[in-house]
Structure 1
Amino acid sequence: MIPFLQNSRLQTLIAALVNGTPLCMGVETFNKPAKVGSGVPPHQDNAYFCQEPPDVLTVWVALDDVTPENGPVQYLAGSHQEGLREHTPSGVKGNSFGLAEAVDEVSVSVALLQKGDILIHHCQTIHFSAPNVSDYPRLGLLMVFRGEHTQDSPEMKDAYHRARALMESSPS
């Protein structure tokens, strides 16, 4: 286990946020290299995770400073309470899905972080980021946790597979 995740206060917080015993679904890095890191279209993570109930969160650790120029994550306030919206293939390499409808970007919060800062977001929070246009990378470590009571939703999985099939059949 990653040492800082053994902190009892963090474990208690994660358990409260997933409404029960947390299980790690995955760990990954999210890389935005200097000058070439792509933008990420508005989306909700549960379009990928397909969990019911949506008691899932992402712990995002900044491994580099996050500035306005290197593509900070932007969150749409309160969107986690509005349910899962329709997603379609995004056409953005490495970011297969995006929301089917536009997002009102007026009410977003921009996550500017220092190396070592941690963000936690709910799987139904709408979020996105701009490309990295800076001379500095933006690297993040992501850990996804779900409550052990959550289950794969067959309906959501079907929608996910239909959208993936559309993406794979479209010309590059």
Structure 2
Amino acid sequence: MGLIGSLSKEQLNFFDSNGFLVIESFYSSDEVLEMRNRMAELLDGFDAPSSSSIFSTKNQQLTDDYFFESAEKISFFFEEKAFGNDGNLRQPKELSINKVGHALHEIDPIFNKFSNSEKISSIFCSLGYKRPVVIQSMYIFKQPGIGGEVVPHQDNSFLYTEPPSCTGLWLALEDATIINGCLWAIPGSHKNGLVRRFIRDDNGVHFDRNSPSYNQKEFVPLEVKAGTLVVIHGDLIHQSFENKSPTSRHALSLHIVDTDGFEWAKDNWIRRKTAPEPLYVS
């Protein structure tokens, strides 16, 4: 499937039926390389502290003030397996970072350009959004050998509006395969509604209920080439496995919510001091 401008009727029908849409060659190889080179520069300028924040979808109670403050910053999070028993990195920082987030799209001019493009905004015009806002961005590395598993989840759990409006965009910056940890999704699972919420309160963060078990046979792999965009409904059940291969799987992830007629939940983990700007509209 291709996209220049708004989504076609066929694409919208596929998205409505399956809860995801794969758009090949959304950004060119040169544009992908520009983002990857910029991230390499950001990593080069990052001095790994002696006490570092680790990101894990298996134990999200590991969140700390550094994580909460990342909502309006460019922050660096390490893989769970990045450190040895002595507390030191097992390998260079470039091969130890899990992700960088969560305000790349606001602060960095290169990522702002691609996150706020007319091509991005046209998707949300097609989906009926009135005032779409990128609420978070993440550069995900899926490092070779130690790239962590992302357990089955729904994006609306973490970025909730009333009524729900979150849509995820997942841009492959390297080829994503079954071997190096591509996305997997249960087609049509978005039609079953939101399963649980990720709540932030005075005691920290927690889910409001336990996760149901999923039949792994229902998941389908979304193997894509670099430059491909995957549009993900906020209620779609999706996951990715640990990357045990020698090949990384870089990706840029954006999450968008509507702010016209939709209320941002006060118990979301993101609590911004300033209101985000809406997506570019021509």
Structure-1 residue corresponding to 2:191: 81
Max Rg structure: 2
Structure-2 residue corresponding to 1:35: 145
Opposite residue 25 of structure 1, the aligned amino acid is I
Aligned-residue offset at 1:104: 1.9
Q: Given the alignment, which residue of 225, 230, 246 partners 1:114?
A: 225
Structure-2 residue corresponding to 1:140: 251
Cα RMSD, aligned residues only: 2.7
Aligned-residue offset at 1:18: 5.3
Note the alpha carbon deviations across 1:145-168, whole angstroms, 9 max, x for none: 1112222235xx38x7xxxxxxxx
Give the 4+ runs in structure 1 shifted more than 3 A.
96-99
Cα distance change, pair 127–81 in 1 and its aligned pair in 2 (3 A): same
Structure-1 residue corresponding to 2:113: 2
- Provide the secondary structure at the position in 1 that maps to 2:151: strand
Structure 2 runs not aligned, ≥5 long: 1-111, 199-205, 270-282
Q: Is the 8 A contact 1:60 1:118 kept in 2?
A: yes
Structure 1 runs not aligned, ≥5 long: 89-95, 161-172
Q: Percent identity?
A: 23
Q: Is the 8 A contact 1:56 1:145 kept in 2?
A: yes
TM-score w.r.t. length of structure 1: 0.76
Q: Given the alignment, which residue of 131, 156, 163 partners 1:53?
A: 163
Aligned-residue offset at 1:27: 1.4
Q: How many Å separate the matches in 2 of 1:40 and 1:6? A: 28
Aligned-residue offset at 1:5: 4.4
Note the alpha carbon deviations across 1:92-120, whole angstroms, 9 max, x for none: xxxx8796111122222211011111111
Aligned-residue offset at 1:31: 1.8
Opposite residue 149 of structure 2, the aligned amino acid is G
Q: Is the 8 A contact 1:42 1:99 kept in 2?
A: no
Structure 2 residue 244 is the aligned partner of structure 1 residue 123: no
Cα distance change, pair 18–38 in 1 and its aligned pair in 2 (3 A): farther
Aligned-residue offset at 1:59: 1.0
Q: How many Å separate the matches in 2 of 1:116 and 1:27? A: 17
Q: Is the 8 A contact 1:25 1:146 kept in 2?
A: yes
Higher relative contact order (CA 8 A, sep 6+): 1
Structure-2 residue corresponding to 1:17: 127
Q: How many Å separate the matches in 1 of 2:220 and 2:152? A: 13
Structure-1 residue corresponding to 2:265: 153
More strand, by proportion: 1
The number of residues matched between the two structures is: 151
Q: Is the 8 A contact 1:74 1:129 kept in 2?
A: yes
Structure-1 residue corresponding to 2:154: 44
Q: How many Å separate the matches in 2 of 1:114 and 1:99? A: 34
Cα distance change, pair 49–19 in 1 and its aligned pair in 2 (3 A): same
- Provide the secondary structure at the position in 2 that maps to 1:100: coil
Opposite residue 123 of structure 1, the aligned amino acid is G
